[in-house]
Structure formats: structure tokens, C-alpha cells
Amino acid sequence: MNKRNGFIAVLAVGAMALAGCSTVGSVGKAASRIVTLGKKDKPQEVAGEGERVSIIAFDQRVEASEVLKGADFYLPPALPQSDWPQPGGLGDQNVENVEAAPAFEIAWRKNFGKGSDRTFHVTVAPIIAGGRAYVMDAETDVVALDAQSGSIVWKKSTRPRNKRDKDGFGGGIAFENGKLYVATGFRIVAQMDALTGETGWLQNTSAPMHGAPIVNHGRMFAVSTDNELLTYDTATGAPGWTFQALVEPARILSSPSPAISGDTIVAAFASGEVVAIRAANGNDLWNTTLSQASRTSALSEIRDVAGRPVIHQGDVYAASHGGVFAATDLRTGQARWSLPVASTSSPWIAGDVAYIVSQAGEVICVSRENGQVYWITDLNAGVKKRKNRSQFTGPVLASDRLVVVSSDGRAIALNPKTGEVTKTIKLGSAALVPPVAANGMIYVVTDKGELVAIR
């Protein structure tokens, strides 16, 4: 395994428990990005294995349906979208097909800060709002760039003055009403002025934040590495209610952003739990766990739902590293269908179908109605040695192209109806963060701390 694939590497349960606080470690030469909870951090009460309900058997495999082979399906037309202000696009409105990057060629690239190394990691997808792109480098500096030219407008450090968490990294950004809402691996959440970068308010958290927040209902919602959903008043920063999920001893270094629809928040956790919560008071409405019935290795015990859940037309779509991709009824929590797909990416929902990128490097197109598979494209086809396989993340549907990026520095466009690869461009560095589409372009953050704009 090379360093570029380290972002999704995980620690085998019970095999390498580390003592002390939440820790960044490595597996072999990979500088693998993992978090373990030592004895001091372990909660006194942890749910046992018997409290989780497995959805599908471990020995099942996903295959394309013979019935759907060559069948057509509906995709909505590409529509212009000037901004991508929150994780997933527009907050409580699912984005389906964005009019962006019709030429699919690089317009510009700009280095905005520190890239990934053994200690620090670029993990944050860009936010596009008001003609600017907002990014976070490996040391959690927040940078504003002109979205058309890539020129840097301002740059602000979010690192604390004390040295307690000198190795913190990760987090994310959301935008609303001229303000940025920031969460970081340095145990900080903050509000910043989008025009100047000046801090409006700042709060310390008890655990690092490795995912982007979302903002809605006058509240900021973010998930910590302790599997806790935290809320804050957007005007004052005052903490609100919290929700504690099951705590896992090992996890992927990525906390998914919650999703929201009306007064319902859907949050996903390293325990494999997907939970619907009332936004007003934090009461849980339902809880499901994306796990398989039979576990054959310590690695397969990692159930982490690392990709953001997606809410679309009354259903919740989410996938786990533990090997389940499922559609769940938003109102009742009942499973509509599930597939044996291991993934750390967020699904993309458009028209009649759902797209997911698997850990093995397969791009899979699934019927939203019944979970049957239209097509599977293996982007690692022909690569025999596991250590030589690339990792892929995405997708995003832009101008009728399904786009994924890779750990070997490629942006790959596929035909969304057939899965055929139609074009590939070189990004110049590993891309381990999902691309976003807005302002007529696709924006990709690379491991070198570059923002690449594709026109």
C-alpha cells in the first residue's frame, strides 16, 4: 500500500490498540491514516455485538442484473448551479446533475497551503459560494480563493496557540449567509466572516472533528471522532443538544457530514449506525446499522460510514466500510433494499438511479426503486496486485458525465448510462477528497494542497 492510499487505511480491531488520547498512527510504510481510542478514552459503557442487527450475509456479492442489462433509465438534465455552499451541495436539497466542465480539461491549478505528509493530511472538500472557493489545508488553515482565477484572497490559521494538539488535522467548512462555519481536528468549531476570514466566535470541543459541519435551522451540526453529534447556535456559538452514538475502538480518519431534510437530521457514525434525529431537540427517531452478518477478518469489523448520507425523495442512502450500501425510508427507518458494497464514499443520487464507488474501485449504478444493478465498471480491472490498485472517490454528475478522482492523480469521466470511461485527465497529484461542481467548473483538492479547476 502506498502513502496515497493511506487515507482509507484502517486499524484492525484489537490488533494494534494504542494507549493515550486519540492518536494518529501508521501501518507499515503507508503512513496510514487511522484513529484509535486508548484506555483513557474508552467509555465505561459500550454496546455489545448482540446489540447490532446485521443487514446482509457476508458472503453475498454484488452483480449486474441480467434483466437490466442495456436498459435505459431517466436522468435529469444538467442545470446551472452557481454555488456549492455546504457538504453535498445545497444543504437540504439534493443536487442531481450540475451544468459544469463541459470541455473536461484543466483550467487552472493553485497551491493553497500545506499538503499531506506523515503527520498532516488534506481531507476537506472545497466549498464554493459568492464567487469564491473556500478550502482547508493539511494544517487546517482556511483559505479563500477567487473561484474563476484561483488567486488567493485571504488565508487564516485555525490552529490553537497552545501545543496540546500540535498534530491535529482534518475537519471541514460550510457556508451560510456570508459566514463560514468551520470544524477542525484541533478540537475547534468556529464562525468566520467569508469576506475577511475574521473570527466571529470560537468554541473548543472535547474530541477532534474530522468532517465538515452542516448549517440549518439556525444551528451548526458536526460529528466528532468520539461518535458524538454536536450542535451550536450559529449566531452565538452557544452549544446545544448532543447525541452520542456507540463508540468504536478504531475508525477511518473521516467523520461524515450529517444530512438534513425538514426537521430531521440524519447522521452516520464509525459504529456503522445511521440515525435519524429530530433537529429541534436531539431525540432519535430511528437507528439502523450497516453491517454484515458474518465477519471473516479483523479488517471487516470496521463498520465506519465515512461518506455523507444522502436524502432524496423520502429515502436515505448510505454505505459503510463494513460492506453495506442501503436505501432506508426516512420516515420509518425501514430498509427498502441493501447491497453488499463496501465503500467510504458518499453515494450520488440522480433521477432513477444511485451511484456508489466501492473500496475495490468499482463504480456501480443501482436502481433507486429496487436496488438492482444496471452496470458495474471496475476501474482497477487488470491490476492484479492489491498494493498497485488505486483508490477512487466521488462521484459527481456534471454535464451528463459521472466524474471520480483517484489516488494516482486522475480525474475520470464515465458515461452515466453505461459506465464506459469516456475521458481521463491528469491532476498532478493524488486526489482523495470528493470533487464538487459549481460555477461552471468541477473543483478538486489534491494531496499536495492544490485546488484544481476543471472547465
Average the pLDDT over 381-391 and give the result: 92
pLDDT at residue 61, rounded to an integer? 78
Q: Which of 66-70, 175-179, 196-200, 441-445 has the lowest mean pLDDT?
A: 66-70
Helix, strand or coil, per DSSP, at residue 412: strand
Asked whether the predicted pLDDT for residue 445 surpasses 50, the reply is yes
pLDDT at residue 168, rounded to an integer? 78
Spatial contact of 438 and 413, defined as CB atoms under 8 Å apart: no
The tally of domains found in the chain comes to 1
User: Hey, what amino acid is at 1?
Assistant: M
Concatenating the DSSP letter of every residue in 349-389 gives EETTEEEEE-TTSEEEEEETTT--EEEEEETTTT--SGGG-
Asked whether the predicted pLDDT for residue 6 surpasses 90, the reply is no
CATH number at residue 81: 2.130.10.10
pLDDT digits (tens, 9 = 90+) for 24-50: 322 222 323 433 333 333 333 333 343
Spatial contact of 453 and 109, defined as CB atoms under 8 Å apart: yes
Per the structure, the complete domain to which residue 13 belongs is given by: 3-44+52-454
From edge to edge, which strands make up the β-sheet containing 239-244?
214-216, 219-223, 228-233, 239-244
The whole-model pTM stands at 0.87
